[in-house]
Amino acid sequence: MNKEFIDKWHSQVKKGTLSFIVLIVLDKNELYGYDLIEKIRNQTSIEIAEGTLYPLVNRLKTDKLLDSKWVEQETGIPRKYYFLTKTGKQTLEEMKVQWKNLQKLITKLM
């Protein structure tokens, strides 16, 4: 086994699916950044740094898949919550179809 190759491949797969993962998690929840990182970590064991998450959610906002709103807290500073737009929900549904098709093809090959 070529561990270096596997590690690079795993990193690329993770990067390539991170947008999909963020959209899936936000499909049912409005979350602020840290909470989004924690939810992904807890449900997938994927470690996401803030320096990775915030540029990603900004790209998803630019693509009109996410929006955000500031929510005042009883104590502390306001938090920016992210949520899927209508276009984001439609895009996620198409991504799920594409993912299932890809999964079938790979399973068939294996």
State if pTM tops 0.75: yes
Q: What average pLDDT does the segment 9-30 reach?
A: 93
Tokens of 62: 């630019």
Please compute the mean of the pLDDT values over residues 29-56 and round it to a whole number: 93
* Structural domains in the chain (count): 1
- Say whether pLDDT at 15 is over 90: no
Whether 38 has a pLDDT exceeding 90, the answer reads yes
- CATH number assigned to the domain comprising residue 91: 1.10.10.10
The 3-state secondary structure of 20-76, one letter per residue: HHHHHHHHCCCEEHHHHHHHHHHHHCCCCCHHHHHHHHHHHHHCCCEEEEEECCCCC
Closest to 45 (Cα-Cα) out of 56, 37, 57, 55: 37
Which domain, by its residues, includes 79?
3-109
Instruction: State the residue for tokens 């993962």.
Output: 21
